[in-house]
Amino acid sequence: MTTDPRDLVKKKPGLALWLPLALFGAFFVLVIWGLVRPADREVASAFIGKPLPEFNLPPATEARPGLATATFRAGKPRLLNVFASWCVPCAVESPQLAALAAQGIEIDGVAIRDRKEDLDRFLATNGNPFKRIGKDDLSQVQLAIGSSGVPETFVVDGKGVIRYQHIGDIRPEDVPLILGKLAEAAQ
Amino acid sequence: MIAEIGLAVLWMAAALAVLQLVAGVLALKPRGANLIDVVRPVAVMQGVLVLIAFACLVSLFLTTDLSVKLVAENSHSAKPFIFKLAGTWGNHEGSMLLWVTIMAVAGGIVALIEKRLREDTLIATLAGQAFVSLGFYAFLLLSSNPFERLPEPAPEGAGLNPLLQDVGLAFHPPTLYVGYVGLSIAFSFAIGALVTRDVGPAFARAMRPWVLGAWIFLTLGITAGSYWAYYTLGWGGWWFWDPVENASLMPWLAATALLHSASVLASRNALRAWTVMLGVIAFSMSMVGTFLVRSGILTSVHAFAVDPERGSFILALLAIYIGGALTLFGVRASTVTEGSRFSFVSREAALVFNNVMLCGILGIVLVGTLYPLLTEAMGVKVSVGPPYFNPVSAIFAIPMLLVLAVGPLLRWRQDRLNRITMPVAIAAVLAAAVLLGVEVLAPQIKVLPLLGLAVAVGVAYASFLPLRGRNLHRTPLPIWGMVIAHFGIAVALFGMASESAFSTERLAAMNPGDSQQVGPYTLTLKNIAPVAGPNWTALEATVAASYAGGEPAILHPQARTFSNPPGNRTESALKTRWNGQLYAVLGEEGEDGRWQMRFWWKPFVPLIWLGGLLVALGGLLALLGRVASDIRRLVATDKIAYRRQRQGR
């Protein structure tokens, strides 16, 4: 006796034939939603939960010392801001950084492919909220911490572990989020 | 001038595609029968014209014509020749033109040589192919014109992403494209067969070489892509379940299923509706993959290809073609008459099982890839990685591999299991011996690598069983192809399991003169010196690697810095032996002036890619066998026709 295994799979062939289309419809709805959803800037970075890589950057300006990983292991959460004088959104976010610094948050900077004169002018114009500024002319530290552009801001806890990555400039409405992440990191 | 010729020719080709579609549709009606002779020549002409347009773009890149926007944005006069050539398709516009070119040329070849299929089915197929091409012509001509000129020629080009300046990668995308587009031919055949209700062995035989060809290229593309990621990303891994990797794996899984079910349809006239559906699904997966990569809807290491607007365009095409084809399938498949029946113990049943398992893996890869998007719709962010993909795909893969060992030994239609008990038992004993042996020698091994090693050895043995009792000189090429491809799967699996189980890693800060031990290797850092290439400079380490105390080999891992555009890339250094590979990466200089060095010893890891190549070789043998027998038959029928003609006179 021969039986067709398909007989067992397809009790109602009429409806089963529409199943692929139904699945495709579901896929379609999902990706349409994915395309039109509001741009979400809170990227779940692969580097969250990872320790900062070892680095030791020379100072980018005489006004501030250079930056090394050891700074981030001092026990208190800090912000690591990746910026450059040639970057317009970096200037736009400077009031927010200043506001954070005024609340006692310690912020360190990594200046990407920058020149000393340009950087000094940038800091003179936009204020200097940084405790330390490291010089990263080859974007090596930037790439190593998973930052693909400027500005980006990392919340690093007191043990040197990345807790949050903010891509793009910090808008005034983002400040509470950053403070919240810092508070989480302090626990 | 060349750019203008290219654009003009591209428009003409698009116009011919319209003609091909309209004439094809009208020719299927009783009153349009006189149009039937138009479709084939138009399809051939369309292929020729697009080929000319593509040649124009290649020549613009080779001469670095900086008045053309695409060249200025993606090339650079200082680039080596090979990357100028690869620059043609290393960008969105050029890659879409390559896509259309392959599609039209393939359509032209079908029109030129396909003689087995019923004429109306072929016409419907060519009309379907024109319909699919038209979407991509619209995409090119309306929103991504590759021949656009700049108002003023640029002084110098912007260069190519440093990650892409690699010989392996220069040929990785076109290889995958040939695969994707080959599946578009299978798709068009499926549409043609549905339209004329002609789903039978002739359809499967006409489609099969295209599926085989596409599948060979996909296999090569995935293998090459995996090796590229392995040696350039410098992470020592060979598969990351990244959305883009999944995007190339899904069409491969669907094409593998299609290949097997088309064989059943061609030889046994069974699995009709299922084969047609897989024909649609395989190309759908190519388009879904392209969409996922291009739209940036999922974050991935391939972010250089992202553009949401283009994503929307591809999505619209996806809706028209795939939605349309699946609707046609829903309407027509119920009228596809049932094929031949078969027993539970038969080669057909084994192939059905293989198909279901492949589709199962396809399903879980698709779900895993889309899952982050799905949960985000519910407000949770997750990323899905190896802890999901590895075990869940193994649930389907291991039973499939067991059936792979047995299926080819079964007879068509109906068989008895006790006929093949003896050879299968030997394979099972071999696998069990490996299982026990490894468990005793390496008791800390995890379950999946252990099962992988055992199954790999069993399948490797079983893959040669279909040859037993055959005269090896008379064994048809497709049988050899199957044997080698199945053996290749076992070889690759062995490499994967071994890499996962036995790799050792060493991360060390070293001064010149320091030594480190990894696996059987002793590594001594000799020195670190700067070197320069055509468009990069690098720090290069000289490492002496001595295997088990023997004569040392010299390795040169580099950290490269590219000038145009600026960027960094690690260039790992590999030392391949028959029993594994040493992998060395130069990291950064530490605070104390010591250098970060990273070494891996990966036993049998090259088998992963060797297996992939064997699978592709198996496909190639099968394809050659099929094409050779098709040609022999064509010649024979031509002779008969010629004799009849003469006798008639």
Name the strand (E) or helix (H) holding B225.
Answer: helix B201-232
Tokens of B52: 């000319």
Domain count, chain A: 2
Q: Please name the residues between 357 and 376 in chain B that touch chain A, using a CB distance below 8 Å.
A: 370, 373-374, 376
Which DSSP string do the residues of A7-66 spell out, in sequence order? HHH-SSHHHHTTHHHHHHHHHHHHHHHHHHSPPP-----TTTTSBPPP-EEPBSSTTS--
A49 in a domain, yes or no? Answer: no
Q: Among A2, A43, A143, whose Cβ lies nearest the Cβ of B299?
A: A43
Judgement on whether residues A126 and A161 belong to the same structural domain of the protein: yes
For the beta carbon of residue A124, count every other beta carbon within 10 angstroms: 10
Q: Min CA distance, B591 vs chain A (Å)?
A: 6
Is residue A44 assigned to a domain?
A: no
pLDDT of residue B312: 79
Contacts of B150 by beta carbon, 8 Å cutoff, 6+ apart: B66, B67, B68, B69, B72
Same domain? For A27 and A81 the reply is no
Determine, yes or no, domain membership for A83: yes
Residue numbers of B between 377 and 396 with CB closer than 8 Å to A: 377, 381-383
Structural domain contains residue A43:
no
Q: What is the pLDDT of residue B345?
A: 85
CATH number at residue A164: 3.40.30.10
Q: What is the pLDDT of residue B415?
A: 83
* Nearest chain B CA: its distance from A131 CA (Å): 20
Strands A78-83 and A107-112: parallel
Check residue B400 and give its pLDDT.
93
Give the domain range for residue A18.
5-36
Residue A105, domain member (yes or no): yes
Q: Which two tokens stand for residue B326?
A: 């699946």
A2 band by pLDDT with thresholds 50, 70 and 90: very low
pTM above 0.95, yes or no: no
Burial grade of B533 (CB within 10 A; 0-12, 13-18, 19 or more): middle
Q: Are residues A109 and A181 in the same domain?
A: yes
What are the tokens at A138? Answer: 């080859």
Is A155 found in the same domain as A64?
yes
| Burial of residue B1 (number of CB atoms within 10 Å: 0-12, 13-18, 19+) | exposed
A136-154 pLDDT, tens per residue? 887 778 878 877 677 889 9
| Residue owning tokens 């365009």 | B313
Does any CB of chain A come closer than 8 Å to the CB of residue B186? no
In a domain, A16, yes or no: yes
Neighbours of B357 (CB within 10 A): 22
DSSP string, B105-167: HHHHHHHHH--SS-HHHHHHHHHHHHHHHHHHHHIIIII--TTPBPSS--SS-----GGG-SH
Could you tell me the residue ranges of all domains in chain B? 1-160, 504-603
A164 is a domain residue: yes
C-alpha distances in Å from residue B303, one per residue of B104, B162, B185, B309, B388:
29, 14, 29, 14, 23
A28 and A65 together in one domain? no
Do A112 and A32 belong to one domain? no
Mean pLDDT of the residues in chain A: 82
Least confident range from A10-24, A126-140, B383-397: namely A10-24
Residues in chain B: 649
**Confidence (pLDDT) at B168:** 67
pLDDT tens digits for range B257-302: 999 999 999 988 888 888 999 999 999 999 888 888 776 666 544 4
Tens-place pLDDT, residues A24-81: 898 888 888 777 765 544 455 677 888 888 888 999 888 899 999 888 888 889 999 9
CB within 8 Å: A21 and B330: yes
Evaluate whether residue A113 is within a structural domain.
yes
Indicate if A66 and A13 belong to the same structural domain: no
**DSSP secondary structure, A58-97, as one string:** PBSSTTS--EEGGGGGSSS-EEEEEE-TT-HHHHHTHHHH
pLDDT value of position B617: 96
B-interface mutation test, from A10, A18, A24, most B Cβ less than 10 A away = A24
Contacts of A140 in chain B (CB under 8 A): 568, 588
For A24, the closest of B271, B312, B322 (CB atoms) is B322
Residue whose C-alpha is closest to residue B203's, from B108, B130, B127, B276: B276
Neighbouring residues of B141: CB distance < 8 A, sequence distance ≥ 6: B10, B11, B14
Q: Do A54 and B333 touch (CB under 8 A)?
A: no
B297–A2: do the CB atoms touch at under 8 Å?
Answer: no
Judge whether B284 is closer than 8 Å to chain A, CB to CB: yes
User: Residues of chain B whose pLDDT is less than 50?
Assistant: 300-305
Instruction: Check if B309 contacts A (Cβ < 8 Å).
Output: no
Strand partners, B571: B558
Partner residue facing A18 (CB), from B330, B344, B561: B330
Provide the percentage of residues in chain B whose pLDDT is more than 70. 93
